[in-house]
Amino acid sequence: MSDIKISIVIPTYQEVENIPLICEQINTSLAGESFEIIFVDDNSQDGSYEAVSKIANHIPAQIIVRTEERGLSTAVITGIESAQGEYVVVMDCDLSHPSSAILPMIEKLASGRNDFVVGSRYIQGGSFDDDWGFFRLLNSKIATWLALPLCHIKDPMSGFFAFQRQQFKNCAHLTPTGYKIGLEIMVKGEFSAPGEHPIHFKDREHGESKLSLKEQFLYLRHLRRLYRFKYPVTSEFAQFGLVGGTGFVIDSLIYFALQAFFGLGHNLSRAISFWPAATWNWFWNRTITFTHREKTGHLKQWLSFLATSLAGFVMNFGTYTTLTSYVPFFIENKFIALMLGVLVGMGFNFMMARIFVFKELDEEILEEEKEFHH
Ligand code: GDD
Ligand code: MN
């Protein structure tokens, strides 16, 4: 057991101007505490290494220079893995995050009130430099709302967070892509009492932000993964329902078009419109809903999807006719019967799709895939 209390992990890329400043700030804020600062730099080659070596004479700072790998999230994980302290704090190098918040954040952890604390701009007492443009703010707000069901934190995007190092071993299956490593750790680590500490977020003075538009799209994919992790069935069902909804639109359009433009009868139109709609559903469920499941051959999977869809349709229709033939309430309220039929059919389709059409991948195969991607 080392006797370091606080490890501060700081990912850096070309932050040579900020490194001495943040070291001084931390040193002042943590006077009297035992701490270490771990910079994880992606081979900036801008004198960062030399700067840290110089500082290391009077402040416990070290720098890990990575040459093989790049990226904010993996850098943070590398830093956490080499940390020795009882607590780990992750923060940006650009002085956006006030080091004066570190001890109050640790205090929340030590008191047992929280097991994960983020430095938050959006709770009472928190703030940010007010030259944020409308779009930057809107963007940040939307991104935050989208993450709300994952964790009840007002600033889940924050790159400033702290937890007890022991707890990190609960973080199974981290997929450290993108920028939101705090959110990733918070969700996958299944922390039970996350909390927030208000901070003033300062805009960086030196250097540039590395957050690009591409990161925003990566964020959406990241969210999808986290939802899948936290709510595996519900998230599949939601996507399945979404796809089914668009399929229903296609189905109706073709159904009406065949009657209006080709003069076909409604039964025949209905019988025809089913096929393109079901094909549409199959395609999007394969590409969106069940991307993480087995990739069976196209033809085979398409056929089995059509088969289960037909069976689902029979269930749907059967429910409707049974209810409207025998149950007085539904004889009066046919539309409710129709909705119930749709629900039954969809539930059936969903179950069949999960069991037969888009089969679960073996853990073994998943492991192999992982190896392959490394
Ligand atoms: N090692 C390494 N590798 N560090 C990186 C990389 C990288 O590829 N990219 C960025 N960093 C470092 C920067 O040097 C900085 O210390 C920190 O990560 C944050 O990078 P910024 O470029 O300043 O990010 P930002 O200000 O746009 O985003 C910050 O705020 C967001 C919320 O508004 C970060 O804290 C985000 O995590 C956060 O979501
Ligand atoms: Mn920044």
Question: pLDDT tens string for the chain (374 positions)?
Answer: 579 999 999 999 999 999 999 999 999 999 999 999 999 999 999 999 999 999 999 999 999 999 999 999 999 999 999 999 999 999 999 999 999 999 999 999 999 999 999 999 999 999 988 777 787 788 888 889 999 999 989 999 899 999 999 999 888 788 887 789 999 999 999 899 999 999 999 988 777 776 667 777 888 889 988 998 999 999 999 999 999 999 999 999 999 999 999 999 888 998 899 899 999 999 999 998 998 888 889 999 999 999 999 999 999 999 999 999 999 999 898 889 988 998 999 999 999 999 999 988 765 445 444 444 44
Ligand 1 pocket, 155 CB below 6 A? no
**Superfamily of chain region 6-230:** Spore Coat Polysaccharide Biosynthesis Protein SpsA; Chain A (3.90.550.10)
In Å, how far are 80, 84, 169 from 166, measured between CA atoms?
11, 10, 6
Q: Which atom of ligand 1 is nearest to the CA of 159?
A: 35
pLDDT of amino acid 326: 94
Q: Return the ligand number nearest the Cα of 46.
A: 1
**H-helix or E-strand containing 195?**
strand 194-198
pLDDT of amino acid 371: 46
Instruction: Determine the straight-line distance between the first and last CA of the chain, rounded to whole angstroms.
Output: 32
- Residue with the nearest Cα to atom 37 of ligand 1? 159
Ligand 2 ion: nearby residues, β-carbon < 5 Å? 94, 96, 204, 209
Q: Which atom of ligand 1 is nearest to the CA of 208?
A: 22
Q: Where are the domains of the chain?
A: 6-230, 232-366
Ligand 1 pocket, 258 CB below 6 A? no
Would you tell me the crossing angle of helices 298-326 and 334-352 to the nearest 10 degrees?
150
Ligand 1 pocket, 37 CB below 6 A? no
pLDDT of amino acid 177: 78
Q: Determine the Cα–Cα distance for residues 309 and 244; give it in Å rounded to an integer.
A: 11
Name all contacts of 54-63 with Cβ < 8 Å and 24+ positions apart.
55/19, 55/20, 55/23, 59/23, 59/24, 59/26, 59/27, 60/35, 60/36, 61/23, 61/36, 61/37, 62/36, 62/37, 62/38, 63/12, 63/38, 63/39
